[in-house]
Amino acid sequence: MAVDSSLPSPLGPPACEKDAKALQYIEQTTRNADAVQETVLAEILSRNAETEYLRRYKLGGATDRKSFKSKLPVITYEDVQPEIQRIANGDRSPILSAHPISEFLTSSGTSAGERKLMPTIQEELDRRQSLYNLLMPVMNLCVPGLDKGKGLYFLFVKSESKTPGGLLARPVLTSYYKSEHFKTRPYDPYNVYTSPNEAILCPDSFQSMYTQMLCGLLERHQVLRLGAVFASGLLRAIHFLQLNWQQLAADIRTGTLNPKITDPELRECMERKLKPEPELAEFVAEQCGEENWQGIITRIWPSTKYLDVIVTGAMAQYIPTLDYYSGGLPMACTMYASSECYFGLNLNPMCRPSQVSYTIMPNMAYFEFLPYEPNSVSFDPTRLVDLVDVVVGKEYELVITTYAGLYRYRVGDILRVTGFHNSAPQFHFVRRKNVLLSIDSDKTDEAELQLAVDNATKLVLEKLNASVVEYTSFADTKTIPGHYVIYWELLVKDSAESPSSESLSQCCLAMEESLNSVYRQCRVADNSIGPLEIRVVKSGTFEELMDYAISRGASINQYKVPRCVNFTPIMELLDSRVVSKHFSPSLPHWTPERRR
Ligand code: AMP
């Protein structure tokens, strides 16, 4: 689409010529949302007309919405998994996409305990980049002067593996940071990071975090914004500082690098930056040595104007902790994206977290919306509506058709329409469907938790003649890293032989072993989730819980034990009945290779 950057931007006066173009692009695309969507669909369907998938549904080369909607089913990952598995196994025929699948992006959503594999094509990198290119122009409208300093962003690559057919499988951000788009990005004064590429791209998470933190400390006065992708990641960085400030201060004092940094390229890069700076070292030691870490972020990085971090959805639980460490700095949630597809951006990024709405960019994919009716038993695909037809105030499940070859695919996110920017709707992220517990990128559903309890029972408790009468859970984010807490009420058949503390710790580990691979990776490789905890509660506690719910109006007939709790009075009731607490004694198993 040709963009006329000389027109004034309704979003506000752009900071520079490049921003003017980006803002005009947003205007034009959102004004013509429906036409853009029609074109996107026609492009996707025509280029992929000869794929096995579209031929199967006898689209016959049609590219219009009516044929598309009447012939193609609305699907979930499990429906398309056989095709994805064939591609992973090495079938290079055009199954889903006419363009060759360049790699798989490993989603944090899981299927049968393993990360979902999302096929992608080379050009998707450009499409993702095109969304990234819009973020700073919008931010510059809200926060002037960001070209006068730098961003301290904690960005990481994660381990990658190969599918049996030889394609790479890795997270979308790892793919992006390792791409030329990121590595050789042109200099942009509004987007300069303190972290060098060598630090971001170092595969060892300790070395990567250590050097990124060190660079942030060395340039503390230049830092104007501080961020990570998700809130949990930023808190992990703060925790890392708590654990490592002495060594970091020692490096700064002497101008020599911690010998634990062994990556040769990274060492070389850091040695160029380090020189003895005793005053800075003293300052860091003084601040970090204080008992009270309230406002530590603004104390160390006093010019920080905002935190750039996603605190919507499951990450909202971290807002109070981030407020505490930052002394209430604004938190900007800039974009909404997934491994399947990048969706859109927040056009008002300095708004309060509870007010965040993401504007879907109509050029990213073809979007449909399934009205969300939690109690509906039948599924009626004719109820799906197009992007421009959603209704303010209503909730929908997001359904996408992508250039990489997902057709009418249910992402699993529930969104509420808050308004429109031109004719493109804006959405509040309500939640992800079926997620019970989440600390970092892990997402544990009810069935997975049930399986974990069953396995722990089978492996440990049955031998002791004990069983779990009732249970519920809670994501405890007061500890750093956060951890899962499972409340158990036990039935012990032989009261003389209640399960020992050691057996209950083994139950914690048995539960962790049966949780999905994203959970185990967070535990083992990322250290972003702490050991799982079981709190054994007194016999009769869950009866009391039911009495409480009924006293608040629940129906006795329909009452079900909530499998996850976060309502303070209920937590207080449970905690007041705890008789013992047990933690997982070691790490569960995890390797980058998939189990199947
Ligand atoms: P993944 O496929 O692992 O990249 O995870 C993508 C999912 O993360 C999305 O489908 C959402 O559920 C969640 N997510 C991504 N961006 C946001 C956001 N800005 N706010 C809330 N949740 C988000």
Residues 146-176 pLDDT 10s: 999 999 999 999 999 999 999 999 999 999 9
Question: Cα–Cα distance between 439 and 443 in angstroms, integer?
Answer: 8
207 Cβ inside 6 Å of ligand 1:
no
Average pLDDT, the chain: 95
Q: How far is ligand 1, taken at its centre, from the CA of residue 346, in Å?
A: 14
- Percentage of the residues of the chain whose pLDDT score is greater than 90: 91
444 Cβ inside 6 Å of ligand 1:
no
Peptide bond preceding 499 in cis form (omega within 30 of 0): no
Alpha carbon nearest to ligand 1 atom 10, residue: 338
How confident is the model over 215-227, as a mean pLDDT? 98
Question: Cα–Cα distance between 347 and 337 in angstroms, integer?
Answer: 15
Q: So what's the pLDDT on residue 1?
A: 63
Question: Cα–Cα distance between 425 and 350 in angstroms, integer?
Answer: 19
Give 101's contacts (C-beta < 8 A, 6+ positions apart).
87, 119, 120, 121, 167, 404, 405
Name the 3-class secondary structure at 172. helix
Confidence band for 7, pLDDT divided at 50, 70 and 90: confident
Mutate to test the pocket of ligand 1, among 310, 311, 338 (most ligand atoms within 8 A of CB): 338
pLDDT per residue as tens digits for the range 389-445? 999 999 999 999 999 999 999 999 999 999 999 999 999 999 999 999 999 999 999
Question: Cα–Cα distance between 334 and 346 in angstroms, integer?
Answer: 5
Mutate to test the pocket of ligand 1, among 115, 131, 346, 413 (most ligand atoms within 8 A of CB): 413
Tokens describing residue 382: 């004719």
Tokens describing residue 424: 């493109």
Question: Cα–Cα distance between 363 and 417 in angstroms, integer?
Answer: 19
Reported pTM: 0.94
Q: How far is ligand 1, taken at its centre, from the CA of residue 254, in Å?
A: 42
Rg (CA), the chain: 25
Q: Is the pLDDT score of 2 beyond 70? A: no
Q: How far is ligand 1, taken at its centre, from the CA of residue 338, in Å?
A: 5
Do 517 and 590 touch, CB atoms closer than 8 A?
Answer: yes
CA 128, chain centre distance (Å): 16
Closest ligand 1 atom, CA of 343? 16
Do 522 and 483 touch, CB atoms closer than 8 A?
Answer: no
How confident is the model over 472-478, as a mean pLDDT? 95
Q: Is the pLDDT score of 373 beyond 90? A: no
Tokens describing residue 361: 């960019």
Q: So what's the pLDDT on residue 366?
A: 98
Mutate to test the pocket of ligand 1, among 339, 429, 518, 526 (most ligand atoms within 8 A of CB): 429
Tokens describing residue 440: 């970092």
370 Cβ inside 6 Å of ligand 1:
no
Q: How far is ligand 1, taken at its centre, from the CA of residue 336, in Å?
A: 6
Q: So what's the pLDDT on residue 542?
A: 95
Alpha carbon nearest to ligand 1 atom 3, residue: 108
Burial 24-57 (b: 16+ CB within 10 A, else e): bbbbbbbbbbeebbbbbbbebbeebbebebbeee
Q: Is the pLDDT score of 494 beyond 90? A: no
Tokens describing residue 359: 């504007």
How confident is the model over 30-53, as a mean pLDDT? 98
Question: Cα–Cα distance between 545 and 547 in angstroms, integer?
Answer: 5
Q: How far is ligand 1, taken at its centre, from the CA of residue 102, in Å?
A: 22
What is the DSSP pairing of strand 101-111 with strand 168-170?
parallel
pLDDT per residue as tens digits for the range 263-292? 999 999 999 999 999 999 999 999 999 999
Q: Is the pLDDT score of 350 beyond 80? A: yes
Q: So what's the pLDDT on residue 41?
A: 98
Q: How far is ligand 1, taken at its centre, from the CA of residue 318, in Å?
A: 16
